[in-house]
């Protein structure tokens, strides 16, 4: 059974006066879209309003996003000062992001650096990875390594060097390794919760106000495959 986040069950990884970091569940949407479903940003606002008994509108800045079917670390800014600094950090790639992905097919190498050029198709909300630059494409770069071999799957650890639309999903599909549950990118069946086995596992960043560098880690969702990894 799929459980979405509410103000009462948020998985909070870090919270202070300037930022709040959430372990997003599969199915949570970070920011509002055409579905009209309540986004995580509004749920976090409700949590802050209740906890601190704040009158009026609560400020919360969306710094970055995760795809709806994925899970893991999402950072929100609680002040405009923090938002400005975090936006700059993320756009300048001053953070280090580590993801875990579960795939059925063994990748060509146990570890590798992948560079593709992605084009986006807004009609079906997908990105396609090309070996060479094509008109309208954006360079995508990641490193992966196999960190675990399960009975039927391989677990990859991914260091992301660029932040493109569906980058990990498209690049892994391009080397014949679609992520478990990811029908959109060629996996053969869906997961029961409608999600995919892609998890934002770790984030290293400098606090926007204190300037202290710290590391955040998010536990993967509770299901048999992730349980075998953790």
Catalytic site residues? 67
Question: What DSSP string describes 18-56?
Answer: SEEEEEEPTT--SS--TT-PPPHHHHHHHHHHHHTT--S
Phi-psi region of 156 (alpha: psi -120 to 50; beta: other; left: phi over 0): beta
Say if CB 202 and CB 73 are below 8 A apart.
Answer: yes
* φ, ψ at 213 (rounded to 5°): -80, 135
- Calculate ∠ Cα 32-33-37, nearest 5°: 65
How do beta strands 154-160 and 96-103 pair?
antiparallel
- Calculate ∠ Cα 104-105-111, nearest 5°: 115
Percent of the chain that is helix, strand, coil (3-state, to 5): 20, 35, 50
Say if CB 76 and CB 41 are below 8 A apart.
Answer: yes
């Amino acid at each position: 059974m799929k459980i979405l986040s509410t103000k009462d069950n948020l998985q909070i990884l870090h919270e202070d006066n300037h930022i709040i970091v959430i372990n997003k569940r599969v199915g949570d949407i970070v920011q509002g879209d055409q579905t009209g479903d309540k986004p995580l940003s509004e749920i976090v606002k409700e949590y802050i309003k209740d906890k601190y008994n704040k009158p009026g509108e609560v400020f919360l800045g969306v710094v970055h996003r995760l795809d709806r079917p994925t899970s893991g670390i999402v950072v929100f800014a609680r002040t405009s000062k923090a938002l400005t600094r975090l936006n700059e950090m993320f756009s300048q790639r001053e953070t280090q992001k580590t993801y875990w992905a579960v795939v059925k097919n063994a990748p060509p190498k146990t570890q590798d650096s992948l560079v593709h050029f992605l084009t986006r198709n807004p009609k079906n909300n997908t990105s396609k990875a090309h070996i060479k630059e094509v008109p309208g494409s954006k360079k995508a770069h990641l490193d992966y390594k196999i960190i675990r071999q399960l009975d039927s799957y391989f677990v990859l650890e991914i260091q992301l060097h660029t932040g493109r639309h569906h980058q990990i999903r498209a690049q892994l599909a391009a080397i014949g390794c679609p992520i478990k549950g990811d029908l959109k990118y060629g996996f053969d069946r869906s997961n029961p919760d409608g999600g995919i086995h892609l998890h934002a596992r770790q984030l290293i960043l400098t606090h926007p106000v204190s300037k202290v560098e710290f590391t955040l880690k998010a536990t993967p969702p509770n299901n048999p495959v992730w349980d075998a990894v953790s």
